[in-house]
A and B are shown apart, each in its own frame.
Chain A
Amino acid sequence: MDILRIATAGSVDDGKSTLIGRLLYETQSITRDKLEALEAASKRKGLDFLDLSLLTDGLIAEREQGITIDVAHIYFSTPTRKYIIADTPGHFEYTRNMVTGASNAKVSLILVDARHGVVEQTFRHFFISSMLRIPKVIVCVNKMDLVGYSEERFQQIKQEFQDIAAKVQFSGQEIEFVPISSLYGVNITKKSDEISWYSGVSLLETLEKFDDQVKADSSHAARFPVQYVVRPKTEEYHDYRGYAGRVASGTFSVGDEIVVLPTGQRSRISAIEKFDQSLEQAHARESVIISLETDVDVSRGNMLVKAGQEPSQLREVSAQVCWLDYQALTPGKTLLLQHGINDTKAKVLALEELINVQTMEKSENPTQLKLNEIGGIRLKMAKPIFADAYQENPANGAFILIDEFSHATVGVGFMN
């Protein structure tokens, strides 16, 4: 069975959590005891309707304040596939949690409050979705009940969004628009009379139609980061040495000539195994063990790539970075850079530009990059990394930045 990963986005109170609650409710994904708990919690808040946002806002602080603070992961299935939804916070302060939720998504559901239209946070989230290269964006114009289900208002918002989106939309990224009311369940899983003017299908049907392109990773250059060396040292497997890892991108086959990075040694794949099964091929995202024909030196952090598809060896990179820490990033700072499973010390050589995500204007050489800001930076690494440009091969083109002292994850970067 297929899995489709989705993330919600959009400004605070635009109705993301309510929408997810509604989707669960209408697909009968909520059991009776959870529904009863929801009724009781809604009553305690003095509401005379079901507050569906309480289904995902699971933290005490979230329920008190009525906002989402951290990502919740929610699951439901249809006969077509399994859905994993990351319900993310809209509040600016928690943008880093939004990025966490969106990083694995193939579809971004961006909510807009029909009364307020496109606001700064709507666009910031669209910008982040595009930076992550999420192939499909569905703009859900929510709270249509509050604008009398007006087609004119819907068209206005669509136009507003398209106008500014054009500046960052990448080729191949699809944007669709769906009018909904999460509170009243209009056009969530089925079309309703209220919006008879709308010619498209409901939100769930739009999702069901989406043809997941995960397999596309298989068409990228073949990359296999070695996570762990398996050496049983038992009598039966005396000389066994297998390289365990998950194929990041591309496809590996038995017999392929490979290059070990960084050593540059060459060998051929003698076996691909998944537990007690021997495979002919391993595709992107599969966890396998690869054995080589010759005795070359391979350890954790090395990468096997197909001969003729070697990535460039980088000591210095320029990248787009979203900063995720309260303490701002300044030039000259030393950090740890984790690329896939590999890490190295890195030094910030320069902050090259700061992007104003509302106007798309770039200011050059900013003095710092503050929490949730996005900018271009230049880094120098203590040892080389073997990365692709994020645009060309996302699975091998992103990295995280880690504070050397607190060990916290403080930034995410995308290789130019």
Chain B
Amino acid sequence: MSSFGDKSLIPASALENPIFPRELEDEAIYIMREVAAQFERPAILFSGGKDSITLVRLAQKAFYPGKIPFPLVHVDTGHNFPETIAYRDWLVKEVGAELIVRYVQDSINQGKAQEETGKYASRNALQTVTLLDAIEEFKFDACIGGARRDEEKARAKERIFSVRDDFGQWDAKRQRPELFDMLNGRISVGENVRVFPISNWTELDVWNYIKEEGIPLPSIYFSHQRPVFERDGMLWADSEFINKDTDEIPYEATVRFRTVGDMTCTAAVLSEAVELDDIIGEILSAEISERGARMDDKRSEAAMEKRKQQGYF
């Protein structure tokens, strides 16, 4: 058996007392299979974060002993943590999946997207341009994403099959009724569907699943030393991609990341957690929500809804 889902990684505590609600896995696998059956060109949007890693595990389980019948698509902002890229390349080999990478830098070079300026400059919003181009290039009719409803109040309103128009836009007022577990993936030419198999999982469910499945993760999720600097009461990884003020002086700290997006919009937390059990303990006692560490959500009260209207995940 492959080391993705390595049984030796499962802590004894998880074997003795599993708490992940397996009903959520059954539901997600059911959704994965519906995608494979209802669409001609589906893909998994893979960011390298724990949620998309969970999706890959679910896809692997849904079609085993067959291979995952969709490619993984990574929209590379060029501002990734190097550990994420290394993990991505390892993972696709391990599960034998096809990987497609498209670069935000190319969209910028083609004049389709414009780099933001100033100290909060980020390529997060620019990803949408590259994603929509990739959807058009490969004629993807369904893109599976790892968004969860517990993350954010606009996401709490999402359907499992979320129909998007030609421009990838989400129209909250025109969502299809979604009854029982019957998924209607029929679309017209040009439209596509975003699919969210782990809609009903919480952050804690994801961590418990990772623990009980023995899924290895990129090292940045665990405690490590790195140079960070403070901004707006949060810690940021020092990197060439962030425009620092002169008074933002990096220093070494022991940190980890709770959610992994771009280096420019993902804050670190001080942490000594080296085991999954430590991480779960931290989450249980955390005062700040997962997306509280995401600058992209803090831009305004409705930042997420507005990005979704533009074709974001």
Contact = CB atoms under 8 A, between A and B. Distances in A.
Interface of A: 1-3, 31-34, 37, 41, 55-61, 63, 69-75, 77, 82, 84, 96-97, 99-100, 103-104, 227-228, 230-232, 234, 236-237, 240, 242, 244-246, 274-276, 285-287, 289, 300, 324, 336, 338, 340-341, 398-400, 402, 406-409, 412
A227 B24 contact: no
A400 B289 CA distance: 37
Interface in B194-232: 199-200, 202, 204-205
Contacts of B70: none
B30 A412 contact: no
A55 to B, nearest CB: 7
Contacts of B172: 59, 61, 69-70
A402 B23 contact: no
A82 B182 CA distance: 23
Interface in B172-210: 172-173, 175-182, 184, 186-188, 199-200, 202, 204-205
B62 interface: yes
Nearest to B201: A75
A104 B27 CA distance: 12
Interface residues of B, number: 58
B66 A409 contact: no
A287 B202 CA distance: 20
Contact of B33 (A227, A274, A276): A227
B302 A60 contact: yes
B62 to A, nearest CB: 7
Contacts of B287: 31-33
B153 interface: yes
A55 B154 CA distance: 10
Query: Which secondary structure characterizes the binding site on chain B?
Result: loop
A36 to B, nearest CB: 9
B37 A96 contact: no
B20 interface: yes
Interface string B121-140: 00000000000000000000
A230 B63 contact: yes
Contact of B26 (A82, A96, A246, A338): A246
Interface string B141-184: 00000000110111111000000000000001101111111101
Contacts of B277: none
Interface of B: 1, 19-21, 23-27, 29-30, 33-34, 36-37, 60-67, 149-150, 152-157, 172-173, 175-182, 184, 186-188, 199-200, 202, 204-205, 286-289, 292, 301-302, 305
Given A37-B301, A324-B177, A32 B30 contact: no
A227 B180 contact: no
Contact of B186 (A99, A234, A237, A402): A402
Contacts of B188: 406-407
Given A3-B21, A232-B65, A244-B62, A100 B26 contact: no
A59 B60 CA distance: 35
A338 B154 CA distance: 29
A158 to B, nearest CB: 31
A228 B39 CA distance: 12
Given A1-B21, A58-B154, A275 B61 contact: yes
Given A1-B20, A58-B156, A246-B26, A103 B305 contact: no
B21 A2 contact: yes
A232 B64 CA distance: 8
A275 B64 contact: yes
Given A58-B305, A100-B179, A227 B37 contact: yes
Contact of B21 (A57, A72, A82, A324): A82
Contacts of B27: 287
Contacts of A289: 64
Contact of A227 (B23, B30, B305): B30
Nearest to B183: A341
